[in-house]
């Protein structure tokens, strides 16, 4: 299959006019891709599936293909470390572009050429697993070359119990216990935010007769309705934007709205408004702590709106979970998390623009299920799950981390 694929790719790439450079080469490939025979396109898809199968066999979370940065190699992220797969075939920039574009339909190719970026999902049947395997993908440009990242979406859900939330935290997250309110799951890319969100949805799906609307770009895990009826709306496919998805959801009789990411002021305002109307809302932010998350939301809006947003956020926010995946002593990764449960004191601090006080409230809020990132890292270190070096490296507050480790 490798030889057949390389023959198809080199033959097609050889037809690209020598006078075409950069994005023009990508456009030419996209325009002439339909010239490939059906069998040739099937072989290209088989090659992609072969690479993804290798990714699964290596327990890799991500695959990188194409672009200037790869040097022609396929790269995997295995337990947090990026490394080239030197046992796999290499691909020129043009060959990689053909492979990437072969995964897309005409509408997706047009969007990629227009916006220089495309989020999409991909599924193939894995023979050994005897099941469909899903991936979240992002196609983009790297120095005028087409590049692709694909992240494996676990086919099994993590249980909410395995994440280790205290009972008080689960209460405020539960739609059965608290019918409204905003919960944020935050962290950098690759910190397991989507996994936690899916665990929360599945937890509700086991016993809560509710209507869940998931708005994401792209949809990752596809839940099967059980106790809940669950709708999946992919941005760019089922709805044009996050904001539109949130607004439209109000006419769809939801109980719980899951917003894949609050990535712009419009989506933030829409999320606050639907929460204010009495819905349970879960979403994510790319922030590393609870305090940073609060400050980020307020800073995203115009200064003239910040006082109003501060008060609204204080009224609707119920909890924040900030996550990190820390290298563990067994060579894998373990979840470390900071947890904020919004009580009267936290609410007052937000309204009075005293968010700097919230860290100590979290530090002293153990009876509510709260803990700082530093406290959780200390617990993981004492349990001999992570090294002292990584406990320090992943702490948000290095000085505080030194103080609490000195007492160990």
CATH number for the domain that contains residue 142: 3.30.450.90
170 plus 145 within the same structural domain: no
Residue ending a domain, among 153, 179, 209, is 153
The reply to whether 220 and 252 lie within a common domain is yes
Tell me which of 101, 135, 153 is where a domain ends.
153
> Regarding beta strands 145-153 and 280-285, do their DSSP bridges make them parallel or antiparallel, or are they unpaired?
unpaired
Cα–Cα distance, 239 to 263 (Å, whole number): 16
Same-domain check for residues 134 and 246: no
- Between CA 311 and CA 309 the distance in angstroms is 5
User: How far is the C-alpha of 124 from the C-alpha of 374, rounded, in Å?
Assistant: 41
291 and 378 in a single domain? The answer is yes
35 φ, ψ to 5°? -70, -20
Q: Which range marks the domain in which residue 198 is found?
A: 160-406
137/167 same-domain check:
no
Could you give the CA distance from residue 271 to residue 281 in angstroms, rounded to a whole number? 7
Phi first, then psi: give them for residue 13, nearest 5 degrees.
Answer: -65, -30
Per residue in 258-277, is it b (16+ CB within 10 Å) or e — as a string?
Answer: bbbbbbebbbbbbbbbbbee
Q: Which token pair is 9? A: 């790719």
Contact by Cβ (8 Å): 61, 25:
no
Cα Rg of the chain, angstroms: 23
Residues 229, 326: one domain?
yes
Task: Output the pTM of the full model.
Answer: 0.79
The answer to whether residues 85 and 204 belong to one domain is: no
Spatial distance between the Cα atoms of 196 and 345, rounded to a whole number of angstroms? 27
pLDDT (0 to 100) of residue 408: 72
Mark whether 79 and 123 lie in a shared domain: yes
Final residue in a domain of this structure, among 137, 153, 169: 153
Note the helical H segments in 250-352. Answer: 265-276, 290-299, 303-316, 344-351
* Counted domains in the chain: 2
Q: What Cα–Cα distance (Å) separates residue 338 from each residue in 36, 87, 376, 394? A: 52, 40, 7, 12
Same structural domain, 228 and 82: no
Question: Distance between CA atoms of 83 and 73, rounded to whole angstroms?
Answer: 10
Q: Assess whether 85 and 227 both reside in one domain.
A: no
Cα(339)–Cα(372) distance, rounded to whole angstroms?
7
Q: Which residues of the chain have pLDDT under 50?
A: none
Residues 138 and 164 both lie in one domain = no
Q: Based on the domain organization, do 169 and 138 belong to the same domain?
A: no
Q: Where are the alpha helices (DSSP H) in 177-280?
A: 193-207, 242-249, 265-276
308-347 pLDDT, tens digit each: 999 999 999 999 999 999 999 998 899 999 999 999 999 9
Per-residue pLDDT at 218: 83
């Amino acid at each position: 299959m490798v030889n057949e694929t390389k023959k198809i790719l080199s033959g097609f790439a050889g037809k690209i006019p020598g006078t075409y450079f950069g994005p023009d080469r990508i456009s030419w490939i996209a325009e002439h891709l339909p010239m490939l025979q059906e069998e040739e396109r099937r072989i290209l898809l088989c090659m992609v599936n072969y690479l993804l199968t290798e990714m699964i066999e290596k327990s890799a979370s991500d695959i990188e293909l194409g672009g200037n940065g790869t040097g022609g190699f396929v790269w995997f992220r295995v337990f947090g470390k990026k490394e080239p797969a030197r046992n796999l075939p290499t691909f020129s920039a043009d060959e990689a572009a053909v492979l990437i574009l072969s995964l897309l339909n005409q509408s997706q190719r047009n969007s990629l050429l227009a916006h220089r970026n495309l989020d999409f999902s991909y599924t193939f049947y894995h023979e050994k697993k005897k099941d469909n395997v899903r991936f979240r993908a992002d196609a983009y440009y790297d120095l005028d070359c087409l590049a692709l990242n694909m992240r494996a979406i676990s086919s099994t859900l993590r249980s909410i119990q395995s994440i280790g939330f205290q009972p008080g935290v689960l209460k405020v997250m539960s739609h059965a216990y608290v019918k409204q309110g905003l919960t944020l799951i935050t962290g950098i890319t690759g910190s397991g935010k989507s996994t936690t969100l899916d665990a929360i949805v599945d937890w509700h799906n086991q016993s809560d007769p509710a209507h869940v609307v998931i708005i994401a770009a792209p949809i990752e895990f596809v839940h099967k309705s059980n106790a809940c009826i669950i709708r999946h709306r992919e941005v760019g496919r089922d709805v044009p934007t996050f904001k539109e998805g949130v607004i439209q959801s109000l006419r769809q009789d939801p109980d719980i709205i899951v917003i894949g990411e609050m990535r712009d002021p419009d989506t933030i305002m829409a999320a606050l408004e639907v929460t204010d109307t009495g819905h349970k809302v879960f979403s994510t932010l790319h922030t590393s702590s609870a305090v940073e998350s609060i400050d980020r939301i307020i800073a995203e809006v115009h200064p003239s709106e910040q006082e109003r947003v501060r008060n609204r956020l204080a009224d609707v926010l119920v909890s924040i979970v900030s996550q990190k995946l820390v290298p563990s002593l067994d060579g894998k990764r373990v979840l470390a998390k900071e947890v904020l449960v919004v009580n009267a004191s936290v609410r007052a601090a937000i309204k009075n623009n005293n968010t700097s006080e919230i860290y100590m409230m979290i530090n002293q809020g153990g009876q509510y299920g709260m803990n700082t990132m530093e406290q959780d890292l200390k617990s993981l270190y004492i349990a001999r799950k992570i090294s002292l070096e990584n406990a320090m490296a992943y702490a948000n507050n290095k000085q505080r981390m030194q103080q609490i480790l000195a007492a160990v």
